[in-house]
Structure 1
Amino acid sequence: MEETKNGTTMVVFDGDLDKAIASFIIATGAAAMGKNVTMFFTFWGLNVLRKDNVISGSDKTMMEKMFGKMMPRGPEKLALSKMNFGGMGPKMMKKMMKNHNVSSLKEMIEMAQDLDVKMVACTMSMDVMGLKEEELIDGLDYAGVASYLAEAEESNINLFI
């Protein structure tokens, strides 16, 4: 009998607000349908998982500190991929979402955690970008690309966002 794969995996590479929202809509939808969902956050996608007020410091190099200060910290600070308009675009998007009873990105992240979506922070990208575990939200797994590929091999849906 042929094995049926019931997983959804996605690489979240981008840290734009609209792409992050789309990735969490897909992830929570798949989890609600009973799929095993793994989201692998790498490079700019890690900014989605950052705490909004934590920047580690004493054990960081000058370059790591600069990266930490220049990158957006968390879902409330992300820009839009289009129509950012110096920060006005994300405010408009959030207002429209609220007006249409669409959960905020922060609420979607919490919903994903409640639905047991596995969120993995790429440790190599964390090293390259100078991010430490204490700068990211609680409840994450930490692993490299081999871990993601093992999950993807067991899935029937694989996305790159």
Structure 2
Amino acid sequence: MAEKATIIVHSGDLDKMYSALIVANGALSMGMEVSLYFTFWGLLRLKKGGLSKGPLSKMNLFGLGRRMIKNRMHRANVASLERLMADYKELGGKVIACEMTMEIMGVKKSDLNEDIIDQYGAVGTYIQEARESAITLLI
């Protein structure tokens, strides 16, 4: 059985989305299987056009901090979230959308970017993924 990592993406904050996708891509590049389980505010980043949205977790300053960080990342040639997600999918990463969160937040499948979602599931889906994983994270 291949080593596996499961990451709960609970936050939709820009910096936390970067953390989740960078760690996930790193694990995939090292030959691991990876599942990202998007729930609560993280799920909102799966909405159409949602990867390009979201504040910083700290120092957002009404969007000024976010703009500053994005400029610095651009100058440092850090890939966009859209590029990191595309790489994640190309490397075989799995994306799971939380159905309970969809119901709570009134999100419909048609609201989501279904091209990147592999599965819709509830807590049992996450537990099964985590049970099979050597690494589990909450971001």
TM range (shorter): over 0.9
Gaps of 5+ in 2: none
Structure 1 residue 139 displacement after superposition? 2.7
Give the aligned partner of residue 35 of structure 1.
Answer: 32
Unaligned runs of 5+ in 1: 53-73
Choose from 114, 119, 140 the match for 2:95. Answer: 119
Q: Partner of 2:86 in structure 1? A: 110
Tell me the residue number matched to 2:75: 99
Q: Deviations over 1:57-104 (max 9, x none)?
A: xxxxxxxxxxxxxxxxx1222100011011111111111111011101
Aligned to 1:57: none
Letter in 2 for 1:113: K
CA distance in 2 between counterparts of 1:5 and 1:77 reads 34
Residues 149-160 of structure 1 correspond to what in structure 2 (within 5 A)? Answer: 149-160=127-138
Preserved CA contact (<8 Å) 1:8 1:158: yes
2:109 matched residue in structure 1: 133
Aligned AA (1:80):
L
Structure-2 residue corresponding to 1:44: 41
Number of aligned residue pairs: 137
**How many angstroms does 1:29 deviate by?**
0.5
Q: Which runs of 4+ in 1 moved over 4 A?
A: none
Partner residue in 2 for 1:55: none
Match of 2:52 among 70, 76, 92: 76
TM-score, normalised by the number of residues in structure 1 = 0.82
Percent identity (aligned): 43
SS of residue matched to 2:8: strand
1:90 pairs, out of 66, 88, 112, with 66
Distance 1:83 1:32 in 2: 32
Root-mean-square deviation (CA), in Å? 1.1
Tell me the SS of whatever aligns to 2:65: helix
Structure 1 partner of 2:121 = 143
Aligned with 2:78: secondary structure?
coil
Q: 1:19 aligns with which of 7, 16, 20?
A: 16
What do residues 85-129 of structure 1 show as CA deviations (whole Å, max 9, x unaligned)? 111111111111110111011111111111111010000100000
**Is residue 8–residue 37 contact of structure 1 (8 Å, CA) maintained in 2?**
yes
